[in-house]
Amino acid sequence: MTDAASQLPRPVGAVPPARKSLLEPDARTRRRNAAETRFRAYGIAAIAVAVAALAWLLFAILSDGASAFRQTYATIPVTLDAAVVDPKGNRDPAEMSKVLTLSYGKLLMDGMKSYVASKNIQIDGLDDADLKSFLSEQAQANLRQQVLDNPELVGQVVTVPALTSSRIDGYFKGRVTAESAAADIKTSPAQLALADAMKADGALVTRFNSDFITNPDASETRAEAAGLGVAILGSLYMMLIVLVLSLPIGVAASIYLEEFAPRNRLTDLIEVNIANLAAVPSIVYGILGLAAFINFMGLPRSAPIVGGLVLTLMTLPTIIIATRAALKAVPPSIRDAALGVGASKMQTVFHHVLPLAMPGILTGTIIGLAHALGETAPLLLIGMVAFVKEYPSAPPEGLFDPASALPVQIYNWTRRADPAFFERASGAIIVLLVFLLAMNLLAIFLRRKFERRW
Amino acid sequence: MNDMRLAERTVDTDAKAIKFQCRDVQVWYGDKHAIKDVDVDILDKTVTAFIGPSGCGKSTFLRCLNRMNDTIPIARVEGRMLLDGEDIYDRRVDPVQLRASVGMVFQKPNPFPKSIYDNVAYGPRIHGLARNKAELDEVVEKALRGAALWDEVKDRLSETGTGLSGGQQQRLCIARAVATSPEVLLMDEPCSALDPIATAQVEELIDELRSQFSVVIVTHSMQQAARVSQKTAFFHLGNLVEYGATDDIFTRPQDPRTESYISGRIG
């Protein structure tokens, strides 16, 4: 071909123009460079927008939610009058438990009154209603529980930290002001003045609130007592079920489809459907769970077992897709090598292919789990949205007990009227984000650990 | 030296038993007829080279000898391939058992990402060739010595096999194949990814291995075929064009296609 070309007469006019200096880029090069510069600018702008959005989100959640981890307590001396808390006088917890919470409310009220009197606090307009609503209703219940747990306390004067109402707590967190209190039936400027006086005296402390993590949910009127304990347990149980079911099923299905199944119409159909299932809206899985697990199989409502099963169905396609990708990424030369020394198909897969695919499988599984952890919609349909105050018992029986879940708890709290619940919802989001972050870190750690250097 | 080996060849090829007897072998990849009517007898304790241009089917044919083509769903093999008189494509034959006696070394060194020891010990372990650790140690050492790698790696058997140099990796793969004591060793262009020095080492090794079993090697390098083999088969477009003693093929080719290929006019 080169011979033929050299024999042709050179066409006139097609002589390439003399090359300009290399020191000066020509117009074409300048245009190309400009295009590249523009593209880089777009990329940086896109990243800047994403980072700004993330930073804004984190800032908003942290500034709203961080205060949920702190709570205001009143430390006032309370006389545990034996005539009130132990009318029979035998210190028998069974007898004492007949005394209602309301009686302890009276004791706390007396405590407040004597405190105000002893400190000689004079505030205009401070009435009994202000003193009564100063402490949370939960404070009475807590005190009662404390006495029942430890009957020795009867008759003594105890100084226990008592939960203050959400308005007093909000006052120290900047949510409630004297102006807003004037228009609020649940508090008054006089009550806030008392709070200031007590704070100055050291009888009010705002400190870290571990109850927010461990307590169960509380009713509408006791935002200050509401916690995430049941939700965290419920989410944990569901994640256990999802892990135990979806990892073996997903990995076994992937290995079969990827390494053993013949390529035919049926497997193609299965493949397409798995990909489609990954894109099915999660609420559809909720309806499926309601129909199949609750209505047909008769499993209890609001139970982690049902939630876990639904989330398993939802997570399976993700895990299968991730696992198949990880198996595909194992070089075929490793399979050849194993088959070449006479390993069976199964030995090849389990001795060589699976260990090499492990980092990818684990990462996919954890990402799938993290996805399931944050899923709300299907849980609403199977009754996980219910108000649950009792902790579920230990597994396996506990899997059938009613429980809540973190994202559903967040959803529940954001619907409630008291602004204190808004703070708690943000706090719960922080907890959820911490869990997600921990799972992602675990994924990174496992990937590093199992990754083999080639 | 060349003359000496010439003499040796003429003597030993006649006396050797037939290891593989292949008759009327056809291979299809889907609709593509990749191997057509191949008849070939592979001798025991002999190095047989398959040469030919790219895509001529020599690797395909090699992979038929230990049924590695079974892993390709669209591949179909017909005809008779007898190993010591038994048809390896008989329905009763388990390819896994066959591959234990017909080992294979691939074009690209492909050690497992495990220790050197585990690489070599893998075959004996899964086939139960050693009763205890001491026996396994012995098998591993013998295989590594057989692959002329023992002296280089004996102090770092627990290091990963993928950390070795390319030539060492390929000899490790040979050791891995040798460790299962195969009767036939198939090598698919074992030196194509190696430098000349590593190639020379592997070629020397191939010549030594010939004393123990039959070696079949696919190569693109005609010099290599001439250096290491006693018998050569020339494949072209799926046909076995010519098969005979290596010296005859290179000095007195019967077929014009063989002559064109070895003189560099086609391929």
Q: Would you give the distance in Å from CA A185 to the centre of its chain?
A: 34
Given this model, what pLDDT does residue A388 score?
85
Average pLDDT over residues B189-207: 87
Nearest to A452 among B66, B68, B113 (CB): B113
Nearest to residue B174, comparing CAs of A12, A211, A65, A341? A341
Question: How many Cβ atoms are within 10 Å of B181's Cβ, its own excluded?
Answer: 19
Given this model, what pLDDT does residue B10 score?
47
B147-156: per-residue pLDDT in tens?
A: 888 989 989 9
State the Cα–Cα distance between residues B114 and A32, nearest whole angstrom.
Answer: 48
Q: Which domains are seen in chain B, by residue range?
A: 2-262 (3.40.50.300)
Burial of B153 (0-12, 13-18, 19+ CB in 10 A): buried
Q: Is B99 in Cβ contact with A337 (below 8 Å)?
A: no
Q: Is B96 in Cβ contact with A356 (below 8 Å)?
A: no
Task: Tell me the chain A residues in contact with residue B105 when contact means C-beta distances shorter than 8 Å.
Answer: 340
| Closest chain A residue to B114, measured at CA | A452
Q: Is B162 in Cβ contact with A263 (below 8 Å)?
A: no
Task: Tell me the chain B residues in contact with residue A351 when contact means C-beta distances shorter than 8 Å.
Answer: 122, 126
Residues paired with residue A71 on neighbouring β-strands, in sequence order: A207
ipTM above 0.90, yes or no: no
Residue B6, pLDDT above cutoff 60: no
Nearest to residue B246, comparing CAs of B266, B227, B231? B231
Q: Is A344 in Cβ contact with B68 (below 8 Å)?
A: no
Query: Is cis: bond before A396, omega within 30 of 0?
Result: yes
Task: Tell me the chain A residues in contact with residue B62 when contact means C-beta distances shorter than 8 Å.
Answer: none
Given this model, what pLDDT does residue A9 score?
56
Ramachandran quadrant class, A392 (left: phi over 0; alpha: psi -120 to 50; beta: rest): beta
C-alpha separations of A439 from A48, A309, A370 in Å: 26, 20, 7
Kindly report the pTM of this predicted structure: 0.81
B213-241: per-residue pLDDT in tens?
A: 899 999 988 889 999 999 999 998 889 99
Given this model, what pLDDT does residue A93 score?
78
Task: Tell me the chain A residues in contact with residue B97 when contact means C-beta distances shorter than 8 Å.
Answer: 342
State the Cα–Cα distance between residues B237 and B246, nearest whole angstrom.
Answer: 20
Angle at A23 (CA atoms; ends A17, A27), nearest 5 degrees:
55
Question: How many Cβ atoms are within 10 Å of B103's Cβ, its own excluded?
Answer: 27
* DSSP states of B193-205: TS-HHHHHHHHHH
Query: Contact A382/A305 with Cβ under 8 angstroms?
Result: no
- For chain A, residues with pLDDT lower than 50 are 1-6, 454
Query: How far does the CA of residue B99 sit from the closest CA of chain A (Å)?
Result: 5
Length of chain B: 267
State the Cα–Cα distance between residues A66 and A47, nearest whole angstrom.
Answer: 27
Burial per residue of A48-60, b for 16 or more beta-carbon CB atoms within 10 angstroms, e otherwise: eeeeeeeeeeeee
Number of CB pairs < 8 Å for A and B? Answer: 70
B192 reaches A (C-beta below 8 A): no
Average pLDDT over residues B53-73: 88
**pLDDT band at residue B4, thresholds of 50, 70 and 90?**
very low
Strand order in the sheet with A70-79: A157-163, A70-79, A204-208
Average pLDDT over residues B177-196: 89
Nearest to A262 among B71, B73, B110 (CB): B73
Task: Tell me the chain A residues in contact with residue B173 when contact means C-beta distances shorter than 8 Å.
Answer: 337
State the Cα–Cα distance between residues A192 and A168, nearest whole angstrom.
Answer: 7
C-alpha separations of A188 from A129, A243, A255 in Å: 10, 51, 67
Given this model, what pLDDT does residue B175 score?
92
Q: Is A344 in Cβ contact with B127 (below 8 Å)?
A: no
B122 reaches A (C-beta below 8 A): yes
Residues on chain A bordering chain B, Cβ-to-Cβ distance under 8 angstroms = 262-263, 331, 333-344, 347, 351-352, 356, 452-454
Question: How many Cβ atoms are within 10 Å of A416's Cβ, its own excluded?
Answer: 17
Average pLDDT over residues B36-49: 91
Q: Is B113 in Cβ contact with A343 (below 8 Å)?
A: no
Residues paired with residue B49 on neighbouring β-strands, in sequence order: B217, B232
* DSSP states of A92-126: -HHHHTTS-HHHHHHHHHHHHHHHHHHTT---TT-
Q: Which domains are seen in chain A, by residue range?
A: 69-209 (no CATH), 229-450 (1.10.3720.10)
Averaged pLDDT of chain B: 87
Given this model, what pLDDT does residue A241 score?
94
> Residue B233 phi/psi, 5° resolution?
-120, 130
Nearest to B113 among A262, A340, A356 (CB): A356
Q: Is A343 in Cβ contact with B110 (below 8 Å)?
A: no
Q: Would you give the distance in Å from CA A340 to the centre of its chain?
A: 49
Q: Is A262 in Cβ contact with B112 (below 8 Å)?
A: no
B80-132: per-residue pLDDT in tens?
A: 899 988 899 988 988 888 998 899 999 889 999 999 999 999 999 998 888 89
Burial of B189 (0-12, 13-18, 19+ CB in 10 A): buried
State the Cα–Cα distance between residues A87 and A66, nearest whole angstrom.
Answer: 44
